Amino acid sequence: MLVLQRKKNQSIVIGNNIELSVLEIGADWVKLALSAPRDVSILRKELVEAAEANRESAGVGSLDMMKKIIKKEDTENTENTNT
């Protein structure tokens, strides 16, 4: 694991096309911005873990399907907050 230290308004670049920027820093939180091509999946770890746990308990489904559902919900939420 690579550990980096960044300050507010600083960024790191992953590969040639993914940028991670620090927008805000709080007492026990940090707000990040990710810029990546549309074909790169970006999910919060707790959602991936929940999807895996649900899939295992149900014995069916796929992580790819869950990613599509989450992406659709995130898109809808973003559109709703922009209107």
pLDDT of residue 76: 75
Per-residue pLDDT of the chain (83 residues; tens, 9 = 90+): 999 999 999 999 999 999 999 999 999 999 999 999 999 999 999 999 998 888 777 765 566 777 777 877 777 777 766 65
- What element of type H or E holds 22? strand 18-25
Whether the CB-CB separation of 43 and 36 falls below 8 Å is answered with no
